[in-house]
Structure 1
Amino acid sequence: MNKFTIVAAMLLVTLSNYAQENNEKKKDSTQVLKEVIINSNKYKYKREKSTTVSKMPLNNIENPQVYNTVTSELLKEQVVTNFNDALKNATGITRLWESTGRGGDGAEYYSMRGFAVQPTMINGLPGLNNGAIDPINVDNIEVIKGPSGTLYGSSLISYGGLINIVTKKPYSTFGGEISYNAGTYGLDRITADVNIPLNKDVSLRVTSAHQNEDSFQDAGFSKSFFVAPSLSYNVNDKLSFLINTEFTNRTSANAPMIFLNRNVDLSFFSMDLFEQNYNNSYTTNELTMSNPTFNMQAQMFYKLSKEWTSQTVLSRSSAKTNGYYHYLYDVGNGDEFTRFISKANSQTQGTDIQQNFIGDFKIGNLRNRMVVGFDYLNLNQRNANAGWRGFGTVSLANQTDIYADPISGEVSNTELSQNAVDTILEGSYAGISNSENEVISAYVSDVLNITDKLSVMASVRVDRFINKTEESFNQTAVSPKFGAVYQIIENKVSVFGNYMNGFKNIAPAIQADNTTYKSFKPEHANQYEFGLKTNLYKEIISATISYYNIDVKDKVMTDPVTFISTIQGGEVNSNGVEISFTANPIKGLNVIAGYSYNDSEVTRDIIDDSYLGLRPEEAGPRALVNFWANYAFTDGKLKGFGFGFGGNYASEYQVLHRKNTGTFKLPDYTILNSALSYNTDKFNIALKVNNILNEKYFSGWSTITPQRLRSLTAGLTYKF
C-alpha cells in the first residue's frame, strides 16, 4: 500500500466521521439538494448558460458563437479517467498527438475545424500544461468553435477555436465523494471530491486524484498525483472572492513519436508495417519524463451597482519538463527509423492579469449586456536542454533495434537504457536559452437586444505584442467580432450568424544563413458562420446546426526542405458543417451525438507549391461522428441500474500530405464503448469497456501513433 492510498484511507475515515457529526444539521438541505438532482436529470449532458464563452452570462440559444459542453455528470457515467476520452464527447474534435511532455508544447494536440489546438484555458484564463490533464476537477469542458482572438487573444488558442476547462467550485453545504477505479493495463486510480463550508460565508472544496497506469504496449507507464483546493468567500452582498489552485506531479515513460520523412519521397504506403509492430513501444521504463505543473487563479467580484459588476483576476501558471524525450524518424529506405534523443530541462511560466467590467443595463428600451476588459499576459520560457543524439536504428520489418556508436560507427547490441543514453548525451549540453513575450490588450463586447427576439453582438480587441528575445520587436493587431441572433420561437428556436476574427503574432525567425532574422506582420483568420439552435419540448431536446468558412491570410510558411527559412503570404481555407444534438426524450434516457465534416485546403503556397491545393496535415480526418446514449431505471425493482452505449467514427486522413514526399493515409476507424452502472444515494458501481471490438487504429500529424486496444475499467464511489 503506497503513501497516497494510506492518506486517502485516513481522509475517508475523517470525512465519514465529519459527515456523521453533521448529518442532523444538514438533513433539510440534503433533502433539498436531492430534489434538485432528481429534477435536473434532463440537464445531465448540457449547461444552458456560460459565463466564460462570451465573458458574460449568456444562454447558448442567444449566443451567436457555437460551442459544445462536456459535463462532469457525463464523465462519471462513462468512467472517464483521462482528458482525451472526455473530449470524444464533443463534436468535430479529435486528438492528433498524445502528450509528449516536452517543454513549451508537451500537452496533447487536437484538431478542430482544420487547425491544431491544445487545452490551455482554465475558467477562460491561461492554464499552462506540458503533460496530461486529470479530469477530476472538471465541472464541464467548453469546446469553443472558430477564431476567438477578440476575447481570448492569440497566444494560447488556434484559428479552429479553444478548449476551456471550467473547474468545480465550492458550494454552501457539506458533501463529496471518494472513488476507486481499477482496470486493464494496470490502472489504479483513487479520487476524492470534498466540499466543506467553514462558515456561512466561506467554503472550501478539494478535489484530488492519484493514478498509476501502464501502457498497452510492451513498455511505458504514467504515474500522477493531482490536488486542487478552491476557496470561496462572500464578504458581503457586494464583494466576494474565488481562489482556484491546481497542483500536478506526473512522471511517465512515453513511447517515441514515429515521424514520417518530410524531405524525401515516401518509400512505403501500407499500414502493414505499423500493424505488425502495434505492441512495440521502442522505449524503456527507465527513460522517464517529469511534468510538474501549477495553476492559480484569484478572482475578486465587486457589485458596483445594480447594473455593473467588476471582476479582477490574477492568474499564475507554471509548467516544467525534466526528462528524456525521443522520437523515431523515417530513414527513407522502406522500413528503418533512426532514434533521436535528448534530455529536456525547461520551465514555462505565465502571469495573466485581467480587469473586466460586466454590465446588464438599458439605454431607452434597449437591453445591453456588455463586457469591457483589460488584459496583461506575460509568458516566459527557460530551456537548459541537452543536445540531440542518434541512438539506434529500428527496423519495422525485422522488428530489430540496433545501436551504432555515433563516433566509431561500430554496431553493437547495446540496449536502450538510462545509463547508455546518459553516456551518449555526455558533453552535449546546449546551454541556457530564454524567451519572453508580453501582451497588453483592451477589448469591449456588447450584446444589444433590439427586440425580445432579435439581438446583435459587436466586439473588438486591440492587442499589443512585445517580444523580448534576441530580436525584440513590438506588434499591434486589431481583432473584430460581429454576430446576430433571431429567436424564431423565444428561448426555443434561433437562427444565428457571426463574423469572427483570429490572429497570431509571429516572432522574428532566423533564416537559412543562421544569422539573419526576418520579421513578420500578424497572421489573420476570418470566419463567417450561420446556423440554427434549438431548445425544444420542455428543454429536453437541444441541437445546433451550422456551416462555417475560415480564411487564413498572411500565413507564415516554413520551407519543407530546410525547415529553417520562412516566408509570409500563404493562405488556407477551411470550411465545413457541424451538427450537435443532446436529448432526454424519456425519463431516464440521455443521448448526446455529433457529426462534423471539414474541407481544408492550402489555397496559396509561396515557397515551392509543396502544399498548394492539398489538405493541411493538422486538419485531421474530414468526417467525425460521436454518439453516446445511457438509460437508467428510475423506479421499480431495477431502479438505479443503468446501461450506456456509444462510440466514435473518424474517416481516413492524410497524416503526411506533400507534393515533395507523397501522401500517407491513416485508415478510417469505428470505436465502440459500453458501460453498466448501479447508482444509489450513497454509492455507485460502474463497469466500462472501451474499444469493445479491440480494433487497431492510429492517430498522427506527420506521425503514426497506435491507439489503445480494448480496456476494461471498474469503479466504486462512496458519496456523503
Structure 2
Amino acid sequence: MDATDEERLTVTGHGFNTMHDTLGLSRMPQDVMHTPQNINVVPQALMRQQNVKSLDEALRNVPGVTASIGEGAGGMNGDQFLIRGFQAQNDIYEDGLRDFGVYSRDSFNFDSVSVIKGPSSEVFGNGTTGGAINMVTKTPGLQNHYSSEFTGGSGSYYRGTLDINQKLDSSTAFRLTGMGDEHNVVGRDFIYSHRWGIAPSIAFGLGKRATLVLQYMHQQENSVPDFGVPVVTKPGASYGMPITEYGVKRTNWYGTNNDQNATNDNMETARFTYKVNDHITIYDDLRGGQYYRTFAASKATCDTTCVNNYFNGDPAAALVARSGPSGAGNGTGPGTYMAPLPYEQKSWSVQNVASMVANFNTGFLRHQLVAGFDIERVNDVRSQSTYLNPKPYASLVNPNPYVGNLNLVPGDSNPGGLVSLGALHAKDHSSGYGFDTGLFLFDQIWLTKWLSVKGGFRWDRWQTSYNLTGGDVAKNPDSHFHDVSGVFNPNVSLVATPDEHQTYYFTWASSTTPMGMYVTNGSVPIRPGTNSFASPEKSQLYELGAKYSLFHDRIGATASLFRLDKGNTMNADPVTGEVQGSSDRQRNQGLELSVGGIILPGWNITATYALYDSDTTYSATKANRGKNVQYVPHNQATLWSVYNAFAHTPYNISFGGGVTWRQHVWLNTANTLRAPANLDFSAVISHRFDRHWKVSMNGYNLANRLNYQSLFSNRATPSAGRMFLGEVSFTY
C-alpha cells in the first residue's frame, strides 16, 4: 500500500489517522475519537509499511508496552506484555474476546491492533490494570481481492502470506488468510522459529439486518525459547546490568539442545449481529479455544563466583547454571536439575458475550445504552517432566548448547527431580479452571449537543480452582484450592465534543484482578496463605485527555494526562514463579501524546511520546518505598514517516523510516538492576510496478545497536541485530 493509497483511505476514516476507526468490539461502540480513554491504534497501513510479522512487532509502535519473558517452574513464554508497567498477559483479546493461549501471535490475520490504556474492567471484566490489547481480525467483504506476499532476507528469513476474499452472492462472502514463516534470529545463536497458520472465515447477511460471521484460526509453531542473558552487578557498581554490557557476546545463548517450544493453537468464533431497528442492535459473540504446548527452556544464573571470575581476570572460569536459583560456583558437581522443568500443557476455553446497544431519547436527553452479559470458562492441565541427568554448567563467555540426552522422564516416575514450590511442595501434575459470569451496564447521556456524561459498572462472579497432585504424596500431600468471589467495578466519564473534529474528556475507572486469574498463562496461578484470595489486586485510573481530527481528517492527534494507582500488588517470585499477593501500592502517572496522518499528499507520519513518573508509594519493605515501578521508563517515543515520490509514474519510489526509543528501566522493585536504553532505527524503500505488483526492502536496527527486547527481574534478552528483508507482493 503506497502513501497515496493511504491518503485516500484516511479520508474515509482509516489509514494513519485512526480517530474515526472503530475498536472492533460491541461493548465499545464509539470510534477512537469519541471513546473517553487513551487508545493507541496500529493500523493496517502502518503494519504493511513496516512489514510487521507479529503482535510483538506491532506493539513496538505503542509507548508504554513492554515485552517480558515468563518465569518460574513452568517457565511461561509466548506473548507476555506489560502496559504502563503492569502485567497484561491475560489482557489480550481478539475481536473483543479473550485469547487465553500462551503462544507468539503472528500478524497474518490482523487488520489492526488497538491498545486501550488504563483499567477497563467495566468492559473486559477482571484484569486490565494497565490496559487491554485488542486485535481486529480480517473478515470477509463483498469486494473480491486476491493478494500474496513473499519475504526473504537476513537470518535465513523466509515468509509467505496469502489473503483471498471471494464474494459468493449479494450478501455472502468467504475469506482465507494463511502464513508460513521460517527464520533464525540475527545476533542470537541457535534461536529459530518455524510456524504456519491458516484462518478461513465466511460471512452471511452482509449489508442485511442480521449478519453472521464464522471464523477459524489455527497457528502452529516449533521454536527455541530465548530466556536471554543474566543481569549481574559488577564489583563496585551501584546497580546491575545485562552481562552483555560488559563485553560478553550478544550472540551467547545459554540453553541446551533439549530446549523446545511447540505450540498448537485453535480458535473457533461465531459473531452474530442483528439490527432490531434504527435504535437497537443486538450482538452475540461466541468463541471456543483449544491450546496445546510442549515446553522446555533454560535460564542462566551467574552467581557471585561467576561475577568475580569474569571481572577479576579469569573469565574462562566464569560458569553459569542453566537452571535453578543458585549459580554454578566453582563448577563442582555435574550440573543442576532445577527449574524451569519441561512440561506439557493442554488448555481449553469457551466464552460468550451478548450485548445490546440502544440509542434513544428521554425528553431532551439523548442516550446510548450498552448492556449485556459475559460468561467464560477456561481449563488448564499441565504435566511436569524431569531430567534424570543434570544440565551441565555453561561457560559464561563461550556456552555450548550440545549437552547430549538429558533423559527426560515423566515427573511421577522421578519425584525426587521435581522442584519444590515452597508451601505448594513438589508436584508433577496441576489442573485448574476459572469460571466468570459478568453483567455490565453503562449509559452515555448527552446533556447538551456537545456535553455528555458516561457511567456504568460491571459485576463479576469469579470462581477458581487449582489442584496440585502427584509426586511423593506420602511426603507432600496433594493440594486443592477453591474460591468464589464477587467483584464490582464502576466507571464514569465527562465528555465534551464542541464539534465533530475534537473531543475532551475526564475519566475515572477501576479494575480488579483476583488471585487465580492467570489460569493458562501464569506459572503458578495461586499460592496458599491469608492473602491468596482475600486481597485481590485493585487499580484506579484518573485521566484527562483531548483528541483531534484536523485538516479535513488528514491528521489525528491525542494528548492525555493520567494517574494510575494500584494496590495489593501481585508479584511473581523470580525463582519459583509463585504469584504472591502483597500489600504494596504502586503509582504511575504521566503524559502521553500521539499524532498520525497525512502531512501532504503522499507523505504519512506516525509519532508518539510518553513521559512517565512512577513509584512505589507503599511497601512492607521500607527500602522499596519511593522506588520506580519495574519496567516503566521515564521517557519513551516512536516516529515513523514515509514519502511516496513521483506517484503514478513508472519511476515512483516510496522511502522513509523511523526510530523507537525507550529510556532505561529498572528490573526489580529495589531498583538495583536495570536494562539500558533502547534506540532502534529502521527504514523502508519500495517501488510499485503497476496497480498489482510491488517490491520493497525493510531495514531494522540499522545501527546494529545492542538493545533488549524481553525483560524480567534478573535477565534480559538481546534484540535482533541489523537485518534486511526484501518483499515481493501482488494484489488483484
Give TM-score scaled by structure 1 length.
0.85
Aligned partners of 1:101 and 1:290 also within 8 Å? no
Q: Hey, what's the Cα distance between the residues in 1 that align with 2:261 and 2:382? A: 15
Match of 1:687 in 2: 697
> 1:219: which partner in 2?
190
1:319-343 CA distances to partner (integer Å, 9 max, x unpaired)? 2211322222233334343112522
* Aligned-partner SS, 1:333: helix
Structure 1: how far apart are the matches of 2:684 and 2:574? 46
Correspondence 1:171 to 2:141? yes
Alpha-carbon contact 1:625-1:649 (below 8 Å) kept: yes
Summarize deviations over 1:118-138 as a string: whole Å, max 9, x none. 362000111122121111111
Q: Deviations over 1:570-598 (max 9, x none)?
A: 21111111001113121001100000022
Offset of residue 521 of structure 1: 3.4
Where does residue 550 of structure 1 map in the other structure? Answer: 564
Query: How far did 1:109 drift?
Result: 2.3
1:679-719 Cα shifts (integer Å, max 9, x gaps): 33111111000011111112412122111100100000111
Give the aligned partner of residue 296 of structure 1. Answer: 268
Secondary structure of 2:152's partner? strand
Query: Comparing both chains, which one has the higher relative contact order based on Cα–Cα distances under 8 Å and sequence gaps of 6 or more?
Result: 2
Q: State the match for 2:369 in structure 1.
A: 370
* Alpha-carbon separation, structure 1, partners of 2:587 and 2:32: 27
Confirm whether residue 666 of structure 1 aligns to residue 691 of structure 2.
no
SS in 1 for 2:668: strand
- 2:57 is paired with a residue of what secondary structure? helix
* Deviation per residue, 1:612-649 (Å, 9 max, x gap): 222232x3322111110011136464664211210100
Corresponding residue of 2:301: 329
1:532 paired to 2:546: yes
Contact persistence 1:44–1:590 (CA under 8 A): no
Q: How far off its partner does 1:390 sit?
A: 5.0
Q: TM (normalized to structure 2)?
A: 0.84
AA at the equivalent of 2:385: A
Question: Which of residues 314, 322, 327 in structure 2 aligns to 1:339?
Answer: 322
Once residues 533 and 500 of structure 1 are traced to their aligned partners in structure 2, the CA distance between those partners, rounded to angstroms, is 19
Distance 1:559 1:651, change over 3 A: closer
Aligned twin of 2:394: 394
Q: Secondary structure of the residue that 2:305 maps to in structure 1?
A: coil
Contact 2:4 2:601 survives alignment (8 Å) = no
* 1:114-513 mapped onto 2 (5 Å cutoff): 114-118=85-89, 120-154=92-126, 157-216=127-186, 217-234=188-205, 237-260=208-231, 269=240, 271=242, 273-274=244-245, 275-284=247-256, 287-335=259-307, 336-340=319-323, 341-387=340-386, 390-396=390-396, 398-400=397-399, 415-417=402-404, 419-420=405-406, 422=408, 427=414, 428=417, 430-469=427-466, 470-488=480-498, 490-507=499-516
- Aligned partner of 2:708 in structure 1 is 698
Cα offset for 1:173?
Answer: 2.0
Q: How does 1:14-163 map to 2 (within 5 A)?
A: 39-41=8-10, 43-47=14-18, 48-52=20-24, 55-97=27-69, 105-118=76-89, 120-154=92-126, 157-163=127-133
Tell me which residue corresponds to 1:406: none
Other structure's SS at 2:616 match: strand
> 1:128 touches 1:295 (CA, 8 Å); kept in 2?
no
Q: CA deviation at 1:198?
A: 1.8
Q: Indicate how the Cα distance of structure 1 residues 424 and 190 shifts in structure 2: closer, same or farther if over 3 A, else same.
A: same
The CA deviation string for residues 94-121 of structure 1, in whole angstroms up to 9 with x for no partner, is 3233x89997953222232221323620
Partner of 1:11: none
Name the amino acid aligned to 2:133: I
Distance change (3 Å), C-alpha of 1:516 and 1:261: farther
1:381 is displaced (CA, Å) by 0.8
SS at match of 2:56: helix
Distance in 2 (CA, whole Å) between partners of 1:463 and 1:265 is: 51
- CA gap of 1:517–1:676, structure 2 versus 1, over 3 A, is closer
Contact in 1 for aligned 2:573/2:580 (Cα 8 Å): yes
Change (3 A) 1:612 1:277: same
Choose 285-294 or 246-255, whichever is displaced more. Answer: 285-294
Q: Distance in 2 between matches of 1:297 and 1:580?
A: 33
How many percent identity over aligned positions? Answer: 20
Q: Which is worse superposed, 101-110 or 63-72?
A: 101-110
**Counterpart of 2:218 in structure 1: which amino acid?**
F
Counterpart for residue 18 of structure 1:
none
Letter aligned with residue 393 of structure 1: Y
User: 1:349 corresponds to which letter in structure 2?
Assistant: W
* Aligned residues of 1:104 and 1:348 also touching (Cα < 8 A): no
Query: For the structure 1 residues 689 and 565, does the alpha-carbon distance in structure 2 shift closer, same or farther, using more than 3 Å as the test?
Result: closer
Change (3 A) 1:201 1:624: same
1:628-643 correspondence runs (5 A): 628-633=640-645, 635=647, 637=649, 640-643=652-655
User: How far apart, in 1, do the equivalents of 2:408 and 2:236 lie?
Assistant: 34
| Aligned residues of 1:577 and 1:596 also touching (Cα < 8 A) | yes
Q: How does 1:590-601 map to 2 (within 5 A)?
A: 590-601=604-615
Give the Cα separation in 2 of the matches to 1:222 and 1:138: 20
Contact 2:25 2:96 in 1 (8 A): yes
For each residue in 1:184-224, what CA deviation from the matched residue of structure 2 results, as whole angstroms up to 9, or x when unmatched?
A: 00110010000011222221101100000012222121000
Q: Deviations over 1:450-491 (max 9, x none)?
A: 222112211200111111332222101100111121123x01
Q: Distance in 1 between matches of 2:464 and 2:687?
A: 55
Are the structure 2 counterparts of residues 519 and 56 from structure 1 closer, same or farther at C-alpha, using a change threshold of 3 Å? closer
Superimposed CA distance per residue, residues 635-671 of structure 1 (whole angstroms, 9 cap, x where no aligned partner): 464664211210100111212342xxx6122221311
Alignment partners' CA distance in 2, 1:37 and 1:696: 33
Please give the alpha-carbon distance, in whole angstroms, between the structure 2 residues aligned to 1:676 and 1:101. 43
Instruction: Work out the number of aligned pairs and report it.
Output: 662
Contact 2:42–2:61 (Cα < 8 Å) also in 1: yes
Deviations 1:271-317 (A, max 9, x none): 55454221112235553220111112111112223211111121112
Segment of structure 1 superposing worse, 139-148 or 267-276: 267-276
CA distance in 1, matches of 2:382, 2:365: 53
Question: Structure 2 CA distance, aligned partners of 1:133 and 1:281?
Answer: 23
Task: Name the aligned partner's letter for residue 403 of structure 2.
Answer: L
Cα RMSD for the two superposed structures: 3.1
Which digits, 9 at most, give the CA deviation of each residue in 1:141-164, with x for residues without a partner?
A: 01110011111012xx43110110
